[in-house]
Amino acid sequence: MKENCLQTIMAPKSVAIVGASNNPMKMGTLQCLNLMTSDFPGKIFPIHPTEKKVFGLTAYPSIADLPQAPELALLVVPTRFVVDMMEEFGKIGTRSAIIITAGFAETGADGKELQKKLLEVCAKHNIRFLGPNCMGVMNTALPFNITVTPFQDKPGGLSLASQSGTYLAQTLSYLKQRGVRLQKAMSVGNEANIDLVDCLEYLGADKDTKAIGMYIETLRRADKFLEVARKISREKPIIAQYVGGTKAGARSGASHTGALAGPDHIYDGLFVQAGIIRVSSIDDVYRIGHTLAASPPLKGNRMAILTHSGGPGTAMSDTCDRNGLMVSDLPGPVKEKIRAVIPPHASANNPVDLTFIMESELMNQVIPKILLESDAVDGLLIHGFMDTGWAKQIYPSISKIMDIKYEQLEKLFSMDLGPFLALREKHQKPIVCSSFLGTEDHAVSTLLENSVPLFDSPEKAALAMSCLYKHFQIKNREVDEPVPSAIPGDVVEQIQNSASGPLDEHNAKQILAQCGIPVCREKLAQSVEQAVDAAKEIGFPVAVKACSAQIAHKTEKGLVHLNIIDEKGVLKAWEAIQKSASKSPVLVCEMLGANREFMAGVTRFPGFGPLVLFGLGGIQAEALGDRAFRMAPFGQAEALRLANSIKANKLLGSFRNLPAVDERALADILIALGNLTLACPRIKELDINPILIVKGRPVVVDALIVLE
């Protein structure tokens, strides 16, 4: 198996740092200091033109003066020096680098040209590099830290790949306070040479990484990203924040890393297809990512909730229900066991509500044991762990009445959480907690120290548990195998030889029909006599429409006449169309009785393969915007998931005495659209709207194909 280009970058045996000095105000110096103090087992070579020593390490005046070729080069120097320095490293045999320096593609045309020269030099010497415009990497297991922040905590199971350096270089103290521990992390910057796909492949193969977090502003190889993520996500959870879906986010990303962002709905579809859990904040990436990394896998969606207060228990229940988790009544024997140990005023239902009692063993030992032992419980949510933090809050009042020292009160309140931690280990079921207290509380700090996921609100805890369930669904969903293309060669040749611009509706539907897509019966008429004959052959009622590649938005221009019941109506429609669009042929189509309309199509976006759309059709398409996307190619399983991704997916089932939609036939249409646009790259845009559902079967009644 080919070695990943990040293997050396994440675990080098020797590192040269260009930009390190004895001035702690310099970025390169901070990175050198962190490398020196992280117990890195390899050799460190500072390079400085005048300094003889850098914090006790021998410094070398130039790259050529190094005693050996370092496995990894780190550059924190003015932009104008970078290309020449990479040439020098290449000549001495260094094949991996991290370029911290900014001022390349993210700055405009001149920067893009400079980045192009950098790539040419590195290609000549077979150098792989992260950056430019990044903030380094860390590997807590080696250990190896070449960011600006010292390690704050022991290694964890969450690894991070980020298009923002700040999210790994300046957050370690923030993460420590919240019990989040990183395993590995890399900042990719402009991704000139190594991108998020390379990071994902590396972390997917890394045995110490239990979950992968990502901060994304753009994807430069969406097709490869999908291929890699789809494989990894069935084994390891991947959680991501994407921020390029708005105009402001896209604009900021372009100036930050030169990123070309895409609309939210495209990334929503891609993430679902890839098995990636999308979240809305970087805090969710960290904290839910930590939950995914530190928890045993969820094996079902049945939740038990334990709380000392009704409000948080209700909030947890509500969040669970909104996110696919079940908070059902507990089995009778389980409830009886709970009733036997709780006060009369407490509730043995689900949630189990102890109503603010201070008997800590009930909360952290007795009831969790009963719940975790039950086969009817897949996961446990707990709100209200607190001990010494509560003692600190009430001591000022108590001390006015009672002669008691704070140390005595603290000892009285302090919980022994050893048995609780043993329960978690024994039963291997996810436990997620919440508390309104922080690390000043002994119980909270103990949970965080032992990697028990703990949040500052009950809703956040329940949302994290729901992400464990999402990964359970991703692992167990049907594997999708793309359907081999069956697009006829005649269709490919016809499209290849057609003029650019839109095809007329009849031509477009003929192409679809040849690809196996069901279309309504219709005939093209060049005269009123042909139109009447066509209507008779098809059978009344019919629709009569102008048919010209030059005419868009026919309905708005009065060029579509529906429910024509006789020859007189055909004549009248012909005359009206000729008056508005002289010499236009007309299309005579069967009228189909249908109560449900959908739409499908294909669009393109830079860096992505053809994007297949499905949604509500007719005039509702624009008004409601209920649609979803997937990137071609895909197979039946993904096509069915696409169809059911829309909010109005209930319309696909039996609805108000209407038969269920033949979803397999609908899936075949979506697959064929993707394969058609893959086989014919000249197709710029493809729309079929509406798709009518006739006796449960989908039939296309209008189509548009636009060629490059």
657/554 same-domain check: no
pLDDT of 358 > 90? The answer is no
Same domain, 130 and 49: yes
The reported pLDDT for the residue numbered 194 is 97
The predicted structure's pLDDT at residue 570: 95
pLDDT in tens, 553-599: 788 788 999 999 999 999 999 999 999 888 889 999 999 988 899 99
User: How many domains, in total, are found in the chain?
Assistant: 5
- Name the domain boundary from 294, 311, 344: 294
Measure the CA–CA gap between 280 and 274, rounded to whole angstroms.
Answer: 17
Cα–Cα dist 672/667, whole Å? 9
Q: Residue 494 domain-assigned?
A: no
The proportion of the chain whose per-residue pLDDT surpasses 70, expressed as a percent, equals 97
- Domain boundary pick from 268, 294, 320: 294
Q: What is the DSSP letter of 64?
A: G
Question: Considering the domain boundaries, does residue 506 fall inside one?
Answer: no
Return the SS3 of 103: coil
158 vs 285: CA distance, rounded Å: 10
Q: What is the average pLDDT across 648-652?
A: 94
Q: Order of strands, edge to edge, in the sheet holding 522-525?
A: 522-525, 586-590, 542-546, 560-564
Amino acid at the residue 98 = I
Q: Work out the average pLDDT over 647-660.
A: 92
Whether residue 450 is contained in a domain is answered as yes
**Is residue 204 located within the same domain as residue 353?**
no
Q: E strand or H helix at 53, and its extent?
A: strand 53-54
The answer as to whether 308 is a domain residue is yes
The answer as to whether 485 is a domain residue is no
Alpha carbons 500 and 684: distance in angstroms, whole number: 10
Question: Average per-residue pLDDT in the chain?
Answer: 93
Are both 34 and 114 inside the same structural domain?
yes
Question: How does residue 366 score in pLDDT terms, banded at 50, 70 and 90?
Answer: very high
**Same domain, yes or no: 558 and 617:** no
Whichever domain contains 655, its CATH number is 3.30.470.20
What pLDDT, on the 0 to 100 scale, is given for residue 255? 47
Q: What are phi and psi of 121, to 5 degrees?
A: -65, -45
Give the mean model confidence (pLDDT) for residues 454-459.
Answer: 97
290 with 301, same domain: the answer is: no
Please indicate, yes or no, if residue 495 is contained in any of the structural domains.
Answer: no
Question: Element (H or E) spanning 536, and its range?
Answer: helix 528-538
Give, for 420, the enclosing helix (H) or strand (E): helix 418-427
Q: Which pLDDT band holds residue 253 (cuts at 50, 70, 90)? A: very low
In the 8-state DSSP scheme, what is residue 556? T
Cα angle 174, 176, 181; round to 5: 115
Domain CATH for 200: 3.40.50.261
Q: What would you measure as the largest C-alpha separation in the chain, in angstroms?
A: 108
Q: Are 330 and 374 in contact (CB under 8 A)?
A: yes
165 and 59 both lie in a single domain:
no
Q: What is the pLDDT of residues 137-166, one digit of tens each?
A: 999 999 999 999 999 999 999 999 999 999
Q: Are residues 225 and 324 in the same domain?
A: no
| CB-CB contact of 384 with 352 (8 Å) | no
Strand partners of residue 546: 586
pLDDT at residue 250 greater than cutoff 60: no
The β-bridge partners of 239 are 213, 277
Q: How far apart are CA 380 and CA 374, in angstroms?
A: 11
Rounded average pLDDT over 504-509: 96
AA letter at 279: V
Residue 353, pLDDT score? 95
CATH code of the domain covering residue 538 = 3.30.1490.20
Torsion sign, CA atoms 258, 264, 265, 271: positive
At residue 247 the predicted structure's pLDDT band, cuts being 50, 70 and 90, is low
Q: Residue 27's domain spans which residues? A: 1-142
